[in-house]
Amino acid sequence: EVQLVESGGGLEQPGGSLRLSCAASGFTFSNYNMNWIRQVSGKGLEWVSYISGSSTTIYYADSVKGRFTISRDNVKNSLYLQMNSLRAEDTAVYYCTRDFSDWGQGTLVTVSS
Amino acid sequence: QAVLTQPSSLSASPGASASLTCTLRSGINVGTYRIYWYQQKPGSPPQYLLNYKSDSDKRQGSGVPSRFSGSKDASANAGILLISGLQSEDEADYFCMIWYSSAAVFGGGTKLTVL
């Protein structure tokens, strides 16, 4: 069974940093592209970033480019999102997804002073 | 104009069929893209339903009933999620998505009410 478990969310001040993690299990992690997608409470979905299985291809949404960094560790079966220079508008639930099919339960990031 | 446009709400009766549309912005040809559909219920993450590019290139999500199906309307430049035999449990938000210009783009979602 595919499992994706996000962690690392919490309350951070504007300008601060957070590192999200996503622990994957139930599949051969290195064979799959992964994404971070976020959702403001009660609102729609916003794609954040993509990373290919071998990390050779990475994409970011314009809204996070230059502030967020996606990475993965195929030995630890983990996906990461380093979030710097956080803004209030980054407040959302962050989901990791396997390709665009399987989703984790999400981790809440709140940026507020 | 948004890349993907979905009606904000739709109502239908139990047992009926509901056709949810996802209209691509003018200049973006629906025939070129694979359209993904997701269902989200309150308090839960989105659940992948299916993706559809053509009748010969589509994939149903694991465990997703066959009464959920995808198609396209080229004349309207839209992807369609058809839900037949509506059940009360189908009441949810539905989102479409395409991979466009090296980014995933989501529609704003349709709230489906079954009453």
Per-residue model confidence (pLDDT) at position A45? 97
What residue has token string 């539905």? B94
| pLDDT per residue as tens digits for the range A61-109 | 999 999 999 999 999 999 999 999 999 999 999 999 999 999 999 999 9
Beta-bridged to residue B50, according to DSSP, are B37, B60
Q: Which residues of B touch A35 (CB under 8 A)?
A: 104
* B47 with A103: Cβ contact below 8 A: yes
Measured CA to CA in angstroms, residue B51 lies from A4, A27, B69 at distances of 21, 21, 9
Ranges of chain B with pLDDT below 70: none
How far does CA A96 lie from the centroid of its chain? Answer: 5
CA-based nearest residue to A70, from A109, A106, A97:
A97
Q: Which residues of A touch B (CB under 8 A)?
A: 35, 37, 44-47, 50, 59, 61, 95, 100-106
Helical spans, DSSP H, in A17-112 = none
Asked whether the predicted pLDDT for residue A42 surpasses 90, the reply is no
**Residue A42 three-state SS:** coil
* B104 with A35: Cβ contact below 8 A: yes
The answer to whether the beta carbons of residues A17 and A80 sit under 8 Å apart is no
Is B93 buried (19+), middle (13-18) or exposed (0-12) by CB count in 10 A? buried
Q: Provide, rounded to the nearest whole percent, the portion of chain A with pLDDT above 70.
A: 100
